[in-house]
Structure 1
Amino acid sequence: MKIQFWSVGKKHETYVNAGIEDFTHRISKYYPVQWTIIPVPKNAGMLSDMDLKKKEGETILEWLEQGDYLVALDERGKMLSSEGLAKLVQTRANESTKKLVFLIGGAYGIDAAVLKRANFTWSLSDLVFPHQLVRLILAEQVYRACTIIRNEKYHHS
């Protein structure tokens, strides 16, 4: 199984880049992993919030392949414990999912059509975080899930 992190927006900011790279490297010891930064449409400033979200959604839906398991990060999603995330990852691996995609939407969230396509909608917290920090938290939590699956020392319950 391959793990992919997709995020709409700019490349990683320097203040989170080292952490993202570190956790991504750690994950790669368990699964092939890759980040894809989905660029904001060129005419974004001329679009309404809804039109921008829709255009981003169209790009995401074009990039997804039929068998991809999509986890959309959205504040209205279901919360998981670290163990719950580990179970989700392990279940996907057990069911021979080829690609597990974690999606962080753009500034205005994720388009309804993408949320409808999502296999699971996940909320990290009741708190709202900057997208850059969500990338770091996501990478760390997926790494933590990998260590839980392998019963390694990183996670202390």
Structure 2
Amino acid sequence: MKLRLISVGKPHEPYVKEGINDFTQRINKYFKADWLIIPTPKTAPSLSETELKKAEASLILNQIDKDDYLILLDERGKSFSSPQLAQFIQQRANDSNKQLVFLIGGAFGVDPIVSNRAQLVWSLSPLVFPHMLARLILSEQLYRACTIIRNEKYHHI
């Protein structure tokens, strides 16, 4: 199974890039994982919030295959403990999902066409994080889940 991590916005800032790269490399020991950063459309300043979300939706959906299992990150989504996240990922692998896509939408969220496509809306926290920190937290939590699946010592209960 492959893990695809997609985020709309600016490239990783140096203050989080090293951590994101480190955790992504660690994840690759368990599942193939990669990041795709979708730049905000150049026309964004001239678009309304609704128009921007629609423009971003087109870019996002072009990167997702029909068989991909889409997990949208949103503070209003379902919460998981780290062991529950591990169990969720293991279940997707058991179900023979070829690719899990974790999506961090744009600054205003995502268009309903994207949220309706998602099989799961997941909340890292009820707090709202800057995109850069959400990327780092997502990377670390996916790595943590991988170590839990393998019963390795990274996660302490």
TM-score between both structures, scaled by the size of structure 2: 0.98
| 1:95 paired to 2:95 | yes
Structure 1: which 4+ aligned runs deviate by more than 2 Å?
Answer: none
Counterpart of 1:135? 135
Residue identity in the other structure for 2:65? E
Distance 1:155 1:110 in 2: 32
Structure 1: stretches of 5+ with no match in the other structure: none
For residue 11 of structure 1, what is the aligned residue in structure 2?
Answer: 11
Paired with 1:85 and 1:99, the residues of 2 have a C-alpha distance of 16
Structure 2 distance, partners of 1:111, 1:88, is 25
Q: How many residues align?
A: 157
Indicate the percent of aligned positions where both proteins have the same amino acid. 61
> How do 1:1-157 and structure 2 match up within 5 A?
1-157=1-157
Q: How big is the shift at 1:42?
A: 1.5
Q: Displacement, 1:29?
A: 0.3
SS at match of 2:6: strand
CA distance in structure 2 between the aligned counterparts of 1:111 and 1:73, rounded to whole angstroms: 13
Distance 1:75 1:141 in 2: 15
Give me the whole-angstrom Cα distance separating, in 2, the residues matched to 1:66 and 1:2.
Answer: 15
Q: Flag structure 2 segments of 5+ consecutive residues without an equivalent.
A: none
Q: Which amino acid aligns with 2:126?
A: D
Aligned to 1:63, what secondary structure does the other structure show?
coil
Does structure 2 retain, via aligned residues, the 8 Å contact 1:74–1:110? no
Cα displacement string for residues 11-33 of structure 1 (whole angstroms, at most 9, x for unaligned residues): 10001011001100000000111
Name the CA distance, whole Å, in 1 between partners of 2:110 and 2:156: 33
SS of the residue corresponding to residue 78 of structure 2 reads: strand
Q: Root-mean-square deviation (CA), in Å?
A: 0.7
Q: Which amino acid aligns with 1:82?
A: S
Q: What is the TM-score when the length of structure 1 is the normalising length?
A: 0.98
1:97-117 deviation digits (Å, cap 9, x = unpaired): 111100000110121111100
SS at match of 2:62: helix
